[in-house]
């Protein structure tokens, strides 16, 4: 700012508002740039800063809705919107806005409980700013934001809250431990169930494989016997088949007779033990009769078809 010695010329800045009074009465607000004043008649009554200001709100006591006394302070950010109202609307704008901020803070804290003071800190700041703007509009001031800087609790309340926090942490730890034990038990039970299922499926598959093996073995034995019977039947159809059958029956007779005394103490001896040819002849006659009957039955089946 440049001030002339004759007090007839002033250079106004855009960051400040110069209030000119003529003969003790408001005249005008100097515009930024070069301005001329009439000596003796005109004088600068007030100078208002147009920059944003940060005002410290002193620490004060406030009672919450649940009757807890707090010591709380903050910072208020505002700016002069109307230099005329800021100059003539109130004697000391800073003092007035500070007192209003304190009373508003007490009022807003009385509406909420202690727990909500910490959780709804942002909402509390917003409510204080809204109330200040409504009341300070006639002073030419506009409040941008209010920040709670520090909250001090009584020692007993602070100890109680610390105990509550510790209890809450212990509770969460106990819950987590119980959930961990439950999950472990569930995993163990699930593992046993899966193991039992797999063991039963393995036993079932083993039984199926054993049954299939036994069935295949029986089928193989039956096929082998059938093949042996077919070979014997084909051999008997040959020219010397009858003689071979006679020899085989004689050998079987002698072998069976020799085993009688080995299997039991009681031995049944035929009356004609020395007549082996007659026994062979009798067996062959039985074989022939069975063969002839089989041929007849096969012939009758073919005639029926």
What residues make up the domain containing 128? 53-153
| pLDDT above 70 coverage of the chain, percent | 71
Instruction: State the average pLDDT over residues 96-125.
Output: 84
Least reliable range by pLDDT among 105-114, 218-227, 278-287: 278-287
Instruction: Look at residues 84, 127, 134, 80 and name the one whose alpha carbon lies nearest to residue 105.
Output: 127
**Domain match, 58 and 43 both:** no
Structure tokens at 182: 């439950």
Together in a domain, 77 and 41: no
Indicate if 57 and 143 belong to the same structural domain: yes
Contacts 24+ apart (CB under 8 A), 106-112: 106/60, 106/62, 106/63, 107/131, 109/62, 109/63, 109/64, 109/70, 109/72, 110/62, 110/63, 110/64, 110/65, 111/65, 112/64, 112/65
Residues 38 and 71 in one domain: no
Q: Do 69 and 139 belong to one domain?
A: yes
Boundary residue ending a domain (92, 121, 153): 153
Rg (CA), the chain: 61
Question: Is the pTM above the cut of 0.85?
Answer: no
What pLDDT sits at residue 6?
44
Please give the pLDDT value at position 186: 92
pLDDT category, 3, cuts 50, 70, 90? very low
Strands (E), 153-297: none
Q: What letter does residue 18 receive in the DSSP assignment?
A: E
Which pLDDT band, with edges at 50, 70 and 90, does 16 fall under? Answer: confident
End-to-end Cα spacing for the chain: 140
At 136 the three-state DSSP class reads helix
What's 30's DSSP letter? P
Q: Is residue 305 part of a domain?
A: no
Top-confidence residue, 249 or 133: 133
Which DSSP category does 45 fall into? E
CA distance 18 to 104: 31
**Domain tally for the chain?**
3
Report H helices in 81-154. Answer: 83-88, 93-109, 114-119, 121-136
Q: For residue 156, what pLDDT is reported?
A: 80
145-194 pLDDT tens trace: 888 888 888 788 777 777 887 888 888 888 988 988 989 999 999 988 89
Cα-based distances in Å from 49 to 2, 23, 85, 101, 128 = 17, 24, 13, 20, 24
């Amino acid at each position: 700012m440049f001030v002339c010695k004759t007090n007839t010329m002033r250079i106004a800045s855009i960051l400040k508002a110069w209030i000119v009074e003529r003969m003790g009465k408001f005249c005008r607000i100097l515009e930024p740039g070069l301005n001329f004043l009439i000596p003796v008649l005109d004088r600068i009554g007030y100078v208002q800063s147009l920059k944003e200001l940060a005002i410290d709100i002193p620490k004060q006591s406030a009672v919450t809705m649940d009757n807890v006394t707090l010591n709380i302070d903050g910072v208020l950010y505002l700016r002069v919107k109307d230099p005329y109202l800021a100059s003539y609307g109130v004697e000391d704008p800073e003092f007035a806005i500070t007192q209003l901020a304190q009373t508003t803070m007490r009022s807003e804290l009385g509406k909420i409980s202690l727990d909500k003071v910490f959780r709804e800190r942002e909402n509390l700041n917003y409510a204080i700013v809204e109330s200040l703007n409504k009341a300070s509009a006639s002073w030419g001031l506009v409040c941008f934001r209010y920040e709670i800087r520090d909250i001090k609790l009584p020692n007993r309340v602070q100890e109680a809250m610390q105990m509550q926090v510790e209890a809450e942490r212990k509770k969460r730890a106990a819950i987590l431990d119980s959930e961990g034990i439950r999950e472990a038990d569930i995993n163990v039970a699930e593992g046993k169930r899966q193991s039992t299922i797999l063991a039963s499926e393995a036993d079932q598959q083993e039984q199926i494989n054993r049954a299939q093996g036994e069935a295949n073995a029986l089928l193989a034995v039956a096929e082998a016997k059938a093949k042996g019977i077919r070979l014997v039947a084909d051999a008997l159809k040959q020219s010397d088949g009858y003689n071979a059958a006679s020899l085989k029956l004689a050998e079987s007779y002698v072998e069976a007779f020799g085993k009688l005394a080995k299997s039991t103490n009681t031995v049944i001896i035929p009356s004609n033990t020395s007549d082996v040819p007659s026994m062979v002849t009798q067996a062959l006659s039985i074989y022939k009769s069975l063969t002839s009957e089989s041929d007849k039955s096969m012939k009758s089946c073919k005639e029926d078809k």
